[in-house]
Structure 1
């Protein structure tokens, strides 16, 4: 991810893209549109994969400790992020409430997939720290995507009409309920119709993948972001052979081909030269520090309250501060709404 981003930054307006001839030759408008389309398709399927990987059964088994830690490690950085919005007075073109939510989500979200892989590599999955971190991160991620959808809804309705905001919110709730009570039973029905020992056909897989696009289209039409539809659709996929098959067929293709395009496009859209002056750099550093301190402090304090040893509490706090693609998605969604 880092190398893909760096490549995009180098080719973008920060370095080589400063030359108009270079940009026009290497990245003409038509090619940028194609790359962005593929990148957005990759993002859609990535969020679907994230939803499929989440075991909501784990949430039902979550201990009170993990739940409180999840609330703490999200609420403190969320409040820190939302509190810094006053520094941007007059610099944003979106309504203040949605900007507050965007800032809060950007600082409080956790990269769930990255965290899961770190815990697996460190062989912590069966330890108390690993279980707490996974459960808390899962709840944190779900809340973050819901809040992000709310922020997008507020922007799309332009806050000029309270009725429009309520329409978007209640339509989104209706969409989620439809997936839970109509679509999920339908998927379970066709799963049970497949004889034991037989694998899912390409028709079934294509049907599910079409559902990803349909759900993305519906939520985009409602006024929330298309990734919200893909994520929720992934959440309602029953855990078992179907989920395993989908991950086997999709994960490598999405993570090795489509997602690097998303990182590269993000780099191409980044202009480091726009950050200039001591004030900008100071603010830039302050945001990074506050984002990390909020996560670490919120988790550490609650872990110590539950009488966890300091070393384990600190390790848990660092795990809950995991950053990755999720933050990039939130920031890009926010930038798209501003543009």
Structure 2
């Protein structure tokens, strides 16, 4: 299945979710022998456990690859685009959340805290899948062009703001509003502590080891992984998902020397090829297409997908046109790419299920939205932007007319591209 979807340049995450849907209650789960002896309900917990371990390692790896300097270099162009592509979807998602709240609480589902639900739906509408986006740009030879660097910069800012909002929603979901506010304050203090004292200690220890020509010292690596586990555990007991702590540790780690180039590929092999697909499959197994058993819920699913797509594409396209003054094809390509969901959306939805914010029915609706929006990214990008311009021409910074692509710089936002997104 992954091979077939790769022929049309689709992210591998789609095939992994579809595989989970097939083995879940939507298809094979309806067969009694399958659901009793092959994939009983109790086995789902093991999928989730192993998948969450993969998720923690993956978010740590993504933090390792995030280049703060490149965010600073791109901020003048990317900041207004990023703000527009998170504020408009966020506001629309919050308003739509008031309506979805009653739909979420049908069929005996225990109503979650209203504030946390609205914050969660708003956050879910505003994400752009950074790793999947990076892989799409790499496969189309756009990652080193102005389209690639600008889109990745916007996506990184989007995800950082989205994760912060999701953390706030999680804090409210695991306690009263007063408790939630205290958790937010503690989380802010924790982030400040990590990026000041802990980061200073880590960087100075690494500098000391580099001077001794021992950058990959085993004791230092063990210390980093203990810090990773401790940070993840602290965020988990705080009521914020453990991935947030892992991501923080990844961001504050050294970006120069052997640390990234040596550690990243080793972690990626285990995480991307073995552990993380189980996370996607577990999400697919939770998806029950049978819960959309009437025209009303199918229509709501379609409405969620359309709103999510338009609130990303329109601001991304028009604000890019205003800020960069580039041709419409360039601006439209930014809007299309900012609508990539995939991995990050699934992580957010999985958190919503774990915190008992999302019902199985609404979870299914949002999963379909993420799949549809991610699936249409590559075909639309080809129709709007790539059909007229060969990828080799784009990559070599050439053009056949005066209308399009001029790349001023070739500075990638990330030091390497995660292989999670695409299969070739």
* 1:223 maps onto 2:235 in alignment: no
Q: Which residue number in structure 2 is paired with residue 25 of structure 1?
A: 37
Higher helix share: 1
Q: Which runs of at least 4 in structure 1 moved beyond 6 Å after TM superposition?
A: none
Contact 2:23 2:29 in 1 (8 A): yes
Cα distance in 2 for partners of 1:59, 1:195 equals 26
Q: Which residue number in structure 1 is paired with residue 274 of structure 2?
A: 257
Q: Which residue number in structure 2 is paired with residue 336 of structure 1?
A: 354
Q: Which residue number in structure 2 is paired with residue 304 of structure 1?
A: 321
For residues 234-245 of structure 1, the aligned pairs below 5 Å read: 234-240=250-256, 241-245=258-262
Q: Which residue number in structure 1 is paired with residue 223 of structure 2?
A: 207
Point out where structure 1 has 5 or more consecutive residues left out of the alignment: none
Q: Which residue number in structure 2 is paired with residue 137 of structure 1?
A: 155
Q: Which residue number in structure 1 is paired with residue 184 of structure 2?
A: 169
* 1:107 maps onto 2:125 in alignment: yes
Cα distance in 1 for partners of 2:280, 2:100 equals 26
Residue range with higher mean Cα deviation, 27-36 or 107-116? 27-36
Tell me how far 1:121 sits from its aligned partner.
Answer: 2.9
Cα distance in 2 for partners of 1:98, 1:287 equals 19
Cα distance in 2 for partners of 1:195, 1:71 equals 39
Point out where structure 2 has 5 or more consecutive residues left out of the alignment: 1-12, 106-110, 358-424
Q: Which residue number in structure 2 is paired with residue 59 of structure 1?
A: 71
Deviations 1:272-319 (A, max 9, x none): 101111111111011111111111001111122232211110111111
For residues 256-295 of structure 1, the aligned pairs below 5 Å read: 256-295=273-312
Q: Which residue number in structure 1 is paired with residue 54 of structure 2?
A: 42
Cα distance in 2 for partners of 1:22, 1:119 equals 39
Contact 1:129 1:316 in 2 (8 A): yes
Cα distance in 2 for partners of 1:271, 1:5 equals 12
Residue range with higher mean Cα deviation, 295-304 or 207-216? 207-216
Tell me how far 1:265 sits from its aligned partner.
Answer: 0.9
* 1:182 maps onto 2:197 in alignment: yes
Cα distance in 1 for partners of 2:309, 2:160 equals 20
Cα distance in 1 for partners of 2:340, 2:270 equals 24
Provide the alpha-carbon RMSD of the alignment: 1.7
Cα distance in 2 for partners of 1:114, 1:14 equals 26
Cα distance in 1 for partners of 2:143, 2:28 equals 44
SS in 2 for 1:338: coil
Residue-pair matches, total: 336
Change (3 A) 1:327 1:89: closer
SS in 2 for 1:298: helix
Tell me how far 1:174 sits from its aligned partner.
Answer: 1.4
Contact 2:101 2:117 in 1 (8 A): no
Tell me how far 1:29 sits from its aligned partner.
Answer: 5.4
SS in 1 for 2:355: helix
Q: TM-score, normalised by structure 2?
A: 0.76
Tell me how far 1:192 sits from its aligned partner.
Answer: 1.5
Q: Which residue number in structure 2 is paired with residue 246 of structure 1?
A: 263
Tell me how far 1:271 sits from its aligned partner.
Answer: 0.9
Tell me how far 1:62 sits from its aligned partner.
Answer: 2.4
Tell me how far 1:223 sits from its aligned partner.
Answer: 1.8
Contact 2:59 2:247 in 1 (8 A): yes
